[in-house]
């Protein structure tokens, strides 16, 4: 279930050489100031104050002190460790939620402190190796007490105790499910720091969690988290409500220690290996492999934009400038099993994740950009897609930055345009057979459906409006009705102005009598080497 997450965590540790902060020391200081770990007063205001205090202190790295056998665990060995369900938090109470914990090991080597909050007071959840079935792991448990700990946790809901609704494991990553599919896929995290710059990315880490004991009939679980890294400390409050679409109301306070060049709010992390028309020459038999197939944007001006994802030859970073965005998300629009043919990974059931901004600086998110990072990958086991909001003004040391947003996890996005939507993008090399081209050319077929596309007269003069950042659009641009999907297909070709492999940005929408019929399709095409 956490195969790619484990590989990712191990990769981050090995490539970034990260050493995380002394959570235990920080919490010991905090506990001393508030009367001890058992029964200490707790609320979000206290946690924000503690994060601010932490950010005002030098970041102190500490080496890993866990027994060496934990770091040597392979994937299968780590997966053999099972939390005993009867030891779940609140398993002895008639409540709507239970929590089960992950053990340290493999790529998850930093213990995370856990606390229960009841009536405004926090009590530490003490690690005990007997909470876990370690028989098949090969780990000697005789001397483990005090030498190991929790790496993260899973959330179960009363509708089905056998499956998760959310899980928090690895750095500051977490995942959730939506709808009856109960399928994991896309991940979120609390912050992206200097992603895709010419230096190692920094990964803030959750160092402690507090779980607010829910009321007997409550369908919402509220949890709090402290996170830390060399550049920033902060606090998060998250209230999750499972359902057909799982909702997470999120408040985050950031306290930078230094100026941060790329400060990514509400990061989304997914995987795109290949889609329609770009299957790699590796003998792979499945038609498509991806957790998400596009980035959806609802701009502050009200425009709906769809950006299909790609697996580029080289690292691509695109920024879509906006002011007070209404929302953005990574989506798996294609829900047809035949397009994946994977009855194990079930890519057709992977959840979407939509970010709905609530408030930030000056009551909105202000000016900035949704940035999309596409990283080349040669397999489906590494998340290679990242999207986040970057404010125009980079944070400065000593600031308090407050952001609130709602996360929607599910098969359907919570908001949708009344216009037609992109349902497929296909690209191939252009040019007529036998024709000699002076420069690379690309040919595109983009399908739109929904809105009023299926109801307008079939002989209506629907136009495809195409623009490019450089190069030339062929004069024969067409849009025609396709009864098989009750929508329209736009066909066009572009010619690169030179032999450069510099990407070309494309923009397309359909209109009738000057009136838009569809959302705006944008794409980044990299000409083939000529």
Range in 76-85, 179-188, 382-391, 415-424 with the lowest mean pLDDT: 179-188
Ranges in the chain annotated CATH 2.60.40.10: 421-525
pLDDT bin (cut points 50, 70, 90) of residue 25 is: very low
Segment 439-452, tens digit of pLDDT: 788 999 999 999 99
| Dihedral sign (CA 393, 394, 399, 402) | positive
Q: What is the model's pLDDT at position 437?
A: 63
Which residues in 194-302 belong to E strands, given as ranges? 205-212, 221-228, 232-241, 246-256, 263-270, 272-274, 289-290, 294-298
Q: Provide the mean pLDDT of the chain.
A: 89
**What CATH number matches the domain at 421-525, 1.10.260.40, 3.40.50.880, 2.60.40.10, 2.40.30.10?**
2.60.40.10
Segment 497-527, tens digit of pLDDT: 888 889 999 999 999 999 999 999 999 999 8
* 3-class DSSP state of 97: strand
Q: What is the model's pLDDT at position 433?
A: 55
What is the Cα–Cα distance from 381 to 271, expressed in whole angstroms? 8
What is the Cα–Cα distance from 404 to 216, expressed in whole angstroms? 27
| Mean pLDDT for the stretch of residues 149-153 | 95
Q: What is the model's pLDDT at position 138?
A: 82
Ranges in the chain annotated CATH 2.70.98.10: 3-410
Segment 210-235, tens digit of pLDDT: 999 999 999 999 999 999 999 999 99
What kind of fold does domain 3-410 have according to CATH? Beta-galactosidase; Chain A, domain 5 (2.70.98)
Q: What is the model's pLDDT at position 133?
A: 93
Segment 348-381, tens digit of pLDDT: 999 999 999 997 655 689 999 999 999 999 999 9
Segment 288-340, tens digit of pLDDT: 999 999 999 999 999 999 999 999 999 999 999 999 999 999 999 999 999 99
């Amino acid at each position: 279930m956490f195969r790619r997450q484990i590989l990712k965590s191990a990769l981050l540790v090995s490539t970034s050489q990260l050493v995380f902060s002394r959570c235990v020391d920080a919490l010991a200081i905090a506990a001393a100031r508030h009367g001890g770990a058992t029964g200490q007063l707790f609320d979000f205001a206290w946690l924000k104050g503690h994060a601010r205090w932490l950010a005002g202190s030098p970041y102190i790295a500490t080496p890993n002190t866990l027994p060496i056998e934990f770091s040597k665990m392979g994937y299968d060995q780590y997966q053999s460790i099972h939390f005993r369900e009867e030891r779940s938090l609140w398993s002895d109470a008639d409540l709507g939620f239970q929590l089960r914990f992950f053990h340290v090991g493999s790529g998850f080597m930093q213990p995370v402190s856990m606390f229960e909050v009841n009536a405004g007071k926090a009590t530490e959840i003490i690690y005990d190796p007997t909470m876990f079935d370690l028989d098949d792991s090969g780990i000697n448990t005789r001397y483990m007490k005090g030498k190991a700990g929790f790496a993260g946790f899973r959330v179960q809901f009363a509708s089905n105790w056998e499956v998760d609704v959310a899980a928090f494991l690895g750095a500051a990553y977490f995942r959730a499910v939506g709808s009856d599919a109960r399928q994991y896929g896309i991940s979120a995290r609390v912050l992206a720091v200097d992603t895709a710059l010419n230096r190692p990315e920094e990964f803030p880490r959750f160092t402690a969690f507090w779980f607010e004991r829910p009321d007997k009939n409550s369908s919402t679980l509220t949890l709090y988290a402290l996170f830390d890294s060399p550049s920033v400390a902060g606090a998060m409050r998250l209230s999750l409500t499972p359902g057909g679409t799982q909702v997470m109301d999120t408040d985050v306070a950031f306290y930078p220690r230094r100026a941060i060049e790329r400060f990514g709010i509400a990061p989304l992390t997914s995987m795109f290996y290949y889609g329609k028309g770009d299957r790699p020459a590796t003998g792979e038999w499945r038609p498509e492999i991806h957790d998400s197939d596009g980035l959806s944007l609802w701009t502050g001006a009200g425009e709906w934009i769809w950006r299909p994802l790609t697996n580029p030859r080289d690292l691509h970073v695109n920024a879509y400038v906006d002011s007070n965005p209404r929302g953005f998300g990574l989506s798996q629009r294609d829900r047809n099993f035949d397009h994946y043919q994977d009855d194990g990974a079930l890519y057709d059931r992977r959840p979407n994740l939509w970010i709905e901004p609530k408030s930030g600086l000056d009551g909105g998110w202000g000016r900035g950009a949704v940035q999309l990072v596409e990283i080349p990958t040669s397999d489906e086991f590494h998340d290679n897609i990242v999207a986040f909001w970057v404010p125009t003004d980079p944070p400065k040391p000593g600031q308090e930055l407050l952001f609130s947003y709602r996360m929607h996890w599910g098969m359907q996005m919570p908001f949708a345009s009344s216009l037609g939507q992109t349902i497929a993008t296909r690209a191939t090399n252009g040019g007529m057979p036998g024709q000699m081209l002076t420069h690379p050319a690309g040919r595109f077929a983009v399908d739109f459906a929904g809105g009023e596309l299926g109801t307008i007269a079939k002989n209506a003069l629907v136009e495809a409006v195409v623009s490019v950042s450089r190069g030339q659009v062929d004069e024969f641009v067409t849009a025609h009705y396709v009864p098989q999907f009750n929508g329209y297909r736009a066909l066009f070709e572009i010619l690169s102005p030179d032999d450069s492999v510099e990407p070309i940005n494309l923009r397309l929408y359909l209109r009738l009598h000057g009136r838009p019929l569809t959302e705006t399709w944008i794409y980044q095409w990299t000409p083939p080497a000529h």
